[in-house]
Amino acid sequence: MVNVNNACVWYESLGFDLTGTRLEQIRDYLGYKLLNPGTPEGAAWENGTANEDAYYAASDGAGFGLIAEEMKKLSSDKLPRGTLRDLLRGPLVPSDQTPDNSDPRNKFVELEMAAHCSRAGFKLLGFDDLTFKFEGVEYQVECKRPFRAKALERRTSEAYKQLSPKLKRDDSRGLIAIAVEKVYNLDRNFQTVRSKSDISGIGLKVADKFRTDTEKLHWQWVDHRIVGVVAIIRFLVKIEDSHAAGPSYNSILVMRASPEAGQAADSSRLNRMVQQLNSGSSLPS
């Protein structure tokens, strides 16, 4: 809740009116319902159950907090103000979306990933969808958010087709990032683990499924500069031994760069990148 309040203060400092926005809805849902044990929503949270509203209020609230924390590090002329404004539009949950108001949530995926990259120490260069530099190499990221399992293959293929023309130099590298919470129904309830160290196992299980579901696409792609596909895995987790609960965010890489294809440097760099990115992943404490 502190992160959401900080995000509201930061947005308002930029001159944005939050009245009626998604961020205001998140702040009110958390403050008046989810974190109030006297409400049905608060009691459900305490008991380790959650519906779609609770999932998106908690997960997107954490995302807004991190976005504000990291974007304030940029100079005023580098801020993606238009995208920041777009994030505020739309309903609290995707099930209330229409074709006219789905784009803000797509852009949220992009800026949330940018914020995680910034926290990991990557230099942010641009926001179409995302460009950053890691160990001297420039990476262009194309983000997608499939709304159902059947759309995963199509949306991933679309990302490849859109990403390849954006790579203007031979030494540029591309990554496809797919938010998979809707694909694997991670936005419906808590994932329960015994201890904090068990959380990574949930992400790995989802990653194995994602790898199987997308692997056949890699054989159809010929641009060697697109070196990997990242699964963005968000879920709510309840830790039994500490009675902690909250959102988790992890990035799992499906490698395309192959040492056997002369891409040993790309492969080892990507492994270091994902390790560094996940070292600061959001976990309930």
Within a domain: 108? no
Q: In this structure, how many other beta carbons lie within 10 angstroms of the beta carbon of residue 187?
A: 20
pLDDT value, residue 101:
66
190/64 same-domain check: no
pLDDT value, residue 219:
81
Contact 225, 202 (CB under 8 A): no
66/128 same-domain check: no
177/277 same-domain check: yes
182/213 same-domain check: yes
pLDDT value, residue 232:
96
137/225 same-domain check: yes
pLDDT value, residue 273:
94
Within a domain: 115? no
Which structural domain range is residue 15 located in?
1-102
283/173 same-domain check: yes
90/127 same-domain check: no
Choose the final residue of a domain: 102, 135, 152. Answer: 102
pLDDT in tens, the chain (285 residues): 668 999 999 999 999 999 999 999 999 999 999 989 899 999 988 887 888 899 999 999 999 999 999 999 999 999 999 999 999 999 998 888 776 667 889 999 999 999 999 999 999 999 999 999 999 999 999 999 998 999 999 999 999 999 999 998 999 999 999 999 999 999 888 898 999 888 889 989 999 999 999 988 888 898 999 999 999 999 999 898 888 888 999 999 998 888 877 899 999 999 999 999 988 665 554
Within a domain: 109? no
Within a domain: 110? no
**pTM (global) more than 0.85:** yes
